[in-house]
Amino acid sequence: MSAPSAWELRRPGGREFALMAVGVVGISLSGPLTALVTAPALAIAFWRNAAGAVLLTPVLATRERATLRGLRLRHLGSSVVAGLFLAAHFAAWLPSLSMTSIGASVALVTTTPIWTALAARISGVRLPAQVWWGLALAILGAALIAGVDVTVSLEALAGDGLATLGAICAAGYVLAGARARERLATSAYTVICYSVCAVVVAVAALLVGDPLAGFSTRDWLLLAAITVCAQLLGHTVFNLVLSSVGPTVVSLAILLEVPGALIVALVLLQQAPPLLALPGMAAVVAGVALVVRASKPQTLVEPGT
């Protein structure tokens, strides 16, 4: 019997719904809190991942230590790949938050399911018509956002591009993470993934000359808040339910970050996106929702292992 497709929809239970609600609140705070930090984007990515890995290591060493028995280095490959994709995601998306509006950045970075759908098609999966309609709607929405941002500044348009690149990298992170969670407990996967991401980001910061320390007390407090809210209550909680509900349902829940981040940005930063960009954001969210709500596709060629 073939393994279920990573694209398959799986109905969450009460526990999964509660955890995903916590995750949505956590990631909704990510963009607005990050926009308040004056430290470099690579430093933000490094500390939230490094701290996340350190905080989860005691859980791995105690409660889930037994899950490490029988593991081999070859079992860790997907976790390493997920960490590389996560580093690329942060390197692209975090700078976009200071280049375009938080609403536009978050709307575009949550197009991850569009890219997982295209990956599924490349793997030989026949996608239903609803997926292609959703794809077209999301592209139209992105074009509307970009069209508005052209009138704002070229920097805002570049920010839109970086946010989209962040979504593509996030798709790789989600799919690699789903494969890793088939063998590893949540703490083992997240410690490896976050550690790899932190190391890669630290090397990148060294190469471009961005500091990783020497920040103000305010920035350190914000970095701590980002780590707790976005990394532990956001990413880690979604990783916890990834193996039981699948990346498609997780991606659907992550869409709620768009209105959540807009509300938080309005309260914390008094920042609202351009009114003309709102229809584009709505089209992106509707398009992605249509993609992830589509029925399970029929497999033409069994996806590779």
Structural domain boundaries of the chain? 14-63+72-299
Is the pLDDT higher at 68 or at 274? 274
pLDDT of 243 strictly over 50: yes
Span 192-224, pLDDT tens digits: 999 999 999 999 999 999 999 999 999 999 999
Alpha helices in the chain (DSSP H): 14-36, 41-61, 77-96, 102-109, 112-122, 129-152, 154-180, 186-208, 217-226, 237-254, 257-268, 278-293
pLDDT of residue 6: 46
**Predicted confidence band at 165 (pLDDT cuts at 50, 70, 90)?**
very high
Task: Say which residues have a Cβ less than 8 Å from residue 284's Cβ, sequence separation at least 6.
Answer: 107, 108, 110, 111, 137, 138, 141, 142, 145, 258
Average pLDDT, the chain: 81
Q: Go through 75-102 and write b for each residue having 16 or more CB atoms within 10 A of its CB, e for each that does not.
A: ebebbbbbbbbbbbbbbbbbbbbebbbb
Dump pLDDT digits (tens) for 253-268: 777 787 888 888 888 8
Across 283-291, average pLDDT = 81
How confident is the model over 115-148, as pLDDT tens digits?
A: 887 887 787 777 778 778 888 888 888 888 877 7
